[in-house]
Structure 1
Amino acid sequence: METLADFIDIDVDILSIGLNPSPNSVLYGFPFATPQNRFWRALNQSKLVNKRYPPSVESIQALLLQEHIGFTDVVKRTTRSGSDLRVEDYRRWAPILRSTIDSVCPRIIWFHGKVAYRNFAQFGLGQMVGSIDWGEQKSSCAGAVIFISPNPSTANAAYSLAEITAWYDKLAIVRRRSANRRAL
C-alpha cells in the first residue's frame, strides 16, 4: 500500500494528526499538498509559527526540526475523501497511532477535525465521545494536551480561512502555556 510517511522526531512538541492522506499528499510527499487545502495559508497567517512556510517537503521538514511540529494521520490508507474510510481502517490504524503517540510523547496532540479525533478516541483509546468542542479538550492522551481545530480541507466549507487561522492562534496560546508549565 502506498501512503504518506510520518514526519516525526523524538523532539516533537506538537503532533499534527490528519484524518488520512490525500492522493496529492502521497504524490508530492507531504501533508496538506492539495493546492486548495487551507492548512498552509492558515498556518502562515497564524501565531503558531514565526516565519512563512511554502507548501513543500522541505517546509514539513523545517516545521519538524525547527518548530518541533510533527505530522501523521489517524488512518494511513489514502482516499480521495474521508467518507471513503471504513470502520476496518480505524480498527487497524488507530491503535498504531496510539503506539506512536506513546513512543514520541508530544506535549500537544493536534487533531484536524472532529471526525479524526472521534475515531481515534473510539478505536485507539477505546473511548466513546459525545459532543466535541473545538480547542483544548478536557481529556488527555499519554499526558499530552488534546487540541482539535477544524479540518482545513475545502470539503469543510463550514469554516472560513479566518476561523481556521483563529483556531491555530489558540493552539499557539496552548503551546506557550504548555511550555511554561514544563519549565516550572
Structure 2
Amino acid sequence: MSTRPTKDQLAAAQDTTIPDVIAPGLDVLFCGINPGLYSGVLKQHFARPGNRFWPALHAGGFTPRLYKPAEQEQLLDLRLGITNVVARTTARADELTNDELREGGELLAAKVLKYRPEWLAVVGITAYRTAFGFPKARVGPQEHRIDDTHVWVLPNPSGLNAHWTPTGLGEEFGRLRTASRDRRNR
C-alpha cells in the first residue's frame, strides 16, 4: 500500500493482529506495547509516520541505514526481531486494560522462553511496569530476566512521547546496542 490508509481501513483494523518478526536466537527482540491501527492496516510494526522507532534503531547503531517499516523482515538478517506485549491493534495504547498488559506479559515471557533471544527490549516503560509487575522500573537494563534472556526497557518512540527527543532515543537505543555487543563478544 503506497497511500495512507483510509478512515474505513483504519476502523476495520481495530482489534486485528500483525505477525511477529521473530526467529530463534536473536540478539535483540524488540517489543512494542501493541500495534496501532496504521500498523494493523499495513501489517507492519511501528508503521505510522512520525513513529521514531526506525530512526532510533538506526541512530542506535542496530541498522546500517534507516529502514522502512516495509523492510521489517530484513531485521532477522541482523539478528533482530519485533513483537508486542499485547497483540491486538488499537487506536491508542491507553485503550488496553491492565489485565491485558499482565496477560500479555505472561504470553511474552512464554515467547521469550521459546525463541531465547539474548535481550528482550520492551519499548515503553509504563507497559513494562504493568506487564511484569515492576512499578518502580526505570528505562535501561533491568535486574529482571526471563531465564537467560536479559531485559532492557527503552522509551516509547511514539511521536506523542515528548519527554524523549530523537537524539535521546538514539542514545538510549545505542546503550542497548553496546550492551548487546558486549555480551555477544564474551
Q: Would you say same fold, with TM above 0.5? A: yes
Aligned partner letter, 1:108: W
Q: Which residue of 1 aligns with 2:40?
A: 26
Which residue of the other structure, out of 152, 158, 163, is the alignment partner of 1:158? 163
- The alpha-carbon deviation at position 98 of structure 1 amounts to 1.4
85-94 or 32-41: bigger deviation: 85-94
- The alpha-carbon deviation at position 88 of structure 1 amounts to 3.2
- Between the aligned partners of 2:121 and 2:107, the Cα distance in structure 1 is 17
* CA deviation vs aligned residue, 1:96-140 (integer Å, no higher than 9, x gap): 211111100110000101122112213xxxxxx242222111221
Structure 2 residues not aligned, in runs of 5+: 1-14
1:112 maps to 2:123? yes
Q: Which residue of 2 aligns with 1:126?
A: none
- The alpha-carbon deviation at position 91 of structure 1 amounts to 4.1
Q: Secondary structure at the match of 1:106?
A: coil
- Between the aligned partners of 1:31 and 1:102, the Cα distance in structure 2 is 22
Which residue of the other structure, out of 94, 101, 104, is the alignment partner of 2:105? 94
**How many pairs were matched up?**
172
- The alpha-carbon deviation at position 167 of structure 1 amounts to 0.5
* CA deviation vs aligned residue, 1:68-109 (integer Å, no higher than 9, x gap): 111111111211111111133224432221111110011000
User: Normalising by structure 2, what TM-score?
Assistant: 0.86
Which residue of the other structure, out of 11, 19, 40, is the alignment partner of 2:54? 40
Q: Which residue of 1 aligns with 2:176?
A: 171
- Between the aligned partners of 1:96 and 1:138, the Cα distance in structure 2 is 20
- Between the aligned partners of 1:79 and 1:30, the Cα distance in structure 2 is 14
42-51 or 149-158: bigger deviation: 42-51
Contact 1:48 1:171 in 2 (8 A): no
Q: Which residue of 2 aligns with 1:103?
A: 114
Q: Which residue of 2 aligns with 1:84?
A: 95
1:4 maps to 2:14? no
Q: Which residue of 2 aligns with 1:62?
A: 74
Contact 1:77 1:89 in 2 (8 A): no
Structure 1 residues not aligned, in runs of 5+: 123-128
Runs of 4+ in 1 over 4 A off after TM superposition: none
Q: Secondary structure at the match of 1:156?
A: coil
User: Normalising by structure 1, what TM-score?
Assistant: 0.87
141-150 or 87-96: bigger deviation: 87-96
Q: Percent identity?
A: 28
